[in-house]
Amino acid sequence: MERALKKTAMIRARTTSKVKKEAEKVFDQLGLSPTEAINLFYHQVSLRHGLPFAVEIPNELTRKTFAKTDRNEEVIDAANASELFKKLGI
């Protein structure tokens, strides 16, 4: 049984301090330590025989949209959904 086995394998990874801080805030809200979150991810990958979420290559429209927002073009600021829908005329 896997649970009875001693945990001896080490996983090392590097990320930015911003990503680490933001992720650890989420883990804390979920009551998970970073180690528990990594183990959860690995278990899900193992169970699903793949990533536990969709990973897709963006299409041309999505790439163009990302490029525009990176340049701060065609970005609409709104305080809430109602204001956004009003600005969009929806």
Provide the pLDDT for residue 2: 57
Q: pTM for the complete prediction?
A: 0.59
> Domain limits of the chain?
1-52, 56-90
* Each residue's pLDDT tens digit, 39-65: 999 999 999 999 999 988 999 999 999
pLDDT at 25: 97
b vs e for 24-42, b when ≥16 Cβ sit within 10 Å of the residue's Cβ? Answer: eeebeeeeeeeeeeeeeee
Across residues 2-20, what is the average pLDDT?
88
